A and B are shown apart, each in its own frame.
Chain A
Amino acid sequence: MPLTEIDPAWAGWSGPIPQPEAEAAPFWDGLRRGVLVIQRCRDCHTWIHYPKASCPACHSFDLGFEPVSGRGEVYTFTSVAREFSPGVRPPYVAALVQLEDAPTIRLVTDLVGCEADQVHIGMPVRAVFQEVSAEAGLVFFTPRENGVEQ
């Protein structure tokens, strides 16, 4: 689900633009297309993030990218009152979200479609996406109760 369906007021992107490394291109292209894909070892099935050249668990180079549901829960969060990155305008709620399908993986993200005082550790969330360039998108998360589950 694109971000604009959560927040119709969303107009463009003024923050930093990710410059994908070659190893991570499928991750970033997935976010651009509205799909969360995480790197995974084809030999030992370990989930890997950030994308790497080889598997940290078994050192295999046979890696691929697999889609995950985009469901997760808030591991921690902060309500930010200063502009730490150029163009990311406060206030915003930043979070680390732990993925339901790949619980060893956490993503830095912002929470959208909710007020800061509604957020709590363990809150169920799901992914929404924003295309920001020809190569990359960003993944935000919103409370699962917002809108229809995919």
Chain B
Amino acid sequence: MSEQIRGKVLVAGVGYSELGRDTGRSEGSLAVQAILGALEDAGFTPDDVDGLAAYPDRVSGPFEGPSIPYVQQTLNFRQLSWYSSFGMSGPAQLAPVASGVYAITSGAASVVVCYRAHRRQTARYYSPTSLAGNLATYTSAYRAPYGVPGGAAAYALWARRFMAEWGYTEQDLAAVVLNCRHHAQLNPRAAWYGHPLTIEDYFAAEYIASPLRILDCDYPIDGAVAVVLAASDRAPDLRYRPVAVDALSHAAGPALEWDQWPDMGNMVSRYVGEQLWQRTALTPADVDVAELYDGFSWFQLAWLQDLGLCAPGEGGDFLRSGAGRVGGRLPVCTDGGQLGEGRLHGMGKLAEAVLQLQGRCDSRQVADAQVAVACAGGGTGATALLLTAGD
């Protein structure tokens, strides 16, 4: 498959809305700001856009964002030839990007805007619509009555088994959180910018669902991120150095519902990682910067070992050694991640990877970054992209 992708699709531009704990703005306003920013970043106008993809969609889960029709009409996209939204049943938050890549390689579109916009989660319950009236329907009937509808309670169950099988401890979770918080101090966009964290602070934080503390859960914020993908023949039109999509994977594992996953010593990153490296001439040793998903801290330990970026079971040691910091062997989550910058549902992973490969990250810039990996997802569904500087 990589032959159909490599050299054919560029990330042409990225854009962020204002990010904040409470911006007072609508999701639509955040989305439009991010998309206009990404188009300007690429040097494009709305008339260049012929593809549009969103995560999440309006109907599939508790995370909702401005709809494709809202964005199409507000930005007056008149040339769309492909559009789609992606929900909670897909291969996680970078699904619109993966499908945008396919839209371009297939010829269905040539310039695709992918966006994610969301206001800070304020609902008290992790309650899909199937819980309306406190009735647990379909497969939520097997989980919600036990207080495990999804979210932190579900991923705490998986975390404990994963940690037990690899020998990870809460010290290793702390290493993830501290590494992200360190990088957040270098990123003025980050929600925790100006708020460093000590290991004592980490262990003083309350448990949400053991072994996960509140600091192991990504930080809900208001914000939008947009990414513009383009066919490689648009490279001469771009304002900044092009970034090429080298390979991607969103391989599924044995089960798409978390409680049916047969071996919780692993998560889906095992399958995504294996397939990603089968689809490229690059190797894990070539990666200069890794924007790894951290919706929950332990996901990052799984991604590190499943992408071959550290030895299995050694993710905590890797991070404690400083190897994962800017200036270290392989900087991880250079923007602070979702634990430090705030929850951007994985789209921030791709945007930061692109900015790193373009050399636009100021004090957190990874020197001579040529190859980056960006991934989103944990548990049963995920997508990873391998990106290279230049077209």
Contacts and interface: CB of A to CB of B under 8 A. Distances in A.
- A, B from the same assembly: yes
- Among B140, B148, B260, the one with the most A-chain Cβ atoms within 10 Å of its Cβ is B148
Given A16-B131, A18-B141, A78-B157, A84 B126 contact: yes
Interface in B98-154: 124-127, 131, 134-149, 151-153
A104 B146 CA distance: 20
Contacts of A121: 160-161, 164
A21 interface: yes
Contacts of B367: none
A47 to B, nearest CB: 12
Given A18-B141, A79-B209, A84-B126, A106 B161 contact: no
B134 A15 contact: yes
A85 B145 contact: yes
Interface residues of A, number: 41
Contacts of A136: 141
A19 B206 CA distance: 34
A90 B262 CA distance: 27
A85 B135 contact: no
A140 to B, nearest CB: 8
B147 A84 contact: yes
Interface stretch (A3-11, A33-41, A58-66, A92-100): A92-100
Contacts of B136: 16-19, 85
Contacts of A28: 141
B210 interface: yes
B149 A84 contact: yes
A136 B135 CA distance: 12
Contacts of A110: 146-147
Interface string B59-85: 000000000000000000000000000
B132 to A, nearest CB: 10
Best-buried of A21, A83, A94, A121 by chain B (most CB within 10 Å): A94
Contact of B145 (A83, A90, A116, A138): A138
B337 to A, nearest CB: 22
Nearest to A82: B208
A109 B156 CA distance: 14
Nearest to B149: A85
Contacts of B161: 75-76, 96, 121
Contact of A76 (B152, B207, B264): B264
A120 B363 CA distance: 45
A81 B207 contact: yes
B259 interface: yes
B158 interface: yes
A84 B210 CA distance: 14
Contact of A15 (B138, B145, B156, B157): B145
A80 B141 contact: no
A86 B127 contact: yes
Given A50-B142, A85-B149, A108 B259 contact: yes
Interface string B276-292: 00000000000000000
A138 B11 CA distance: 50
Contact of A78 (B131, B139, B209, B259): B209
A50 B139 contact: yes
A63 to B, nearest CB: 17
B134 A87 contact: yes
Contacts of B148: 80, 84-85, 94, 108
Nearest to A137: B145
A84 B157 CA distance: 14
A75 B149 contact: no
B208 A108 contact: no
Contacts of B264: 75-76, 96
Contacts of B262: 104
A88 interface: yes
A18 B144 CA distance: 8
A83 B124 contact: yes
A80 B125 contact: no
B206 A109 contact: no
Given A94-B146, A108-B143, A110-B147, A84 B259 contact: no
Given A16-B135, A108-B146, A108-B259, A84 B207 contact: no
25 contacts: A16-B135, A18-B145, A76-B157, A78-B153, A78-B160, A78-B209, A78-B210, A78-B211, A80-B147, A80-B208, A81-B210, A83-B147, A84-B149, A84-B152, A85-B125, A85-B136, A85-B146, A88-B147, A90-B147, A94-B147, A94-B153, A96-B157, A96-B264, A110-B147, A136-B141
The 6 closest A-B pairs by CB, nearest first: A88-B147, A18-B141, A78-B156, A16-B136, A76-B161, A79-B210
Given A80-B148, A84-B152, A88-B145, 5 more contacts: A15-B147, A18-B145, A84-B153, A88-B147, A90-B147
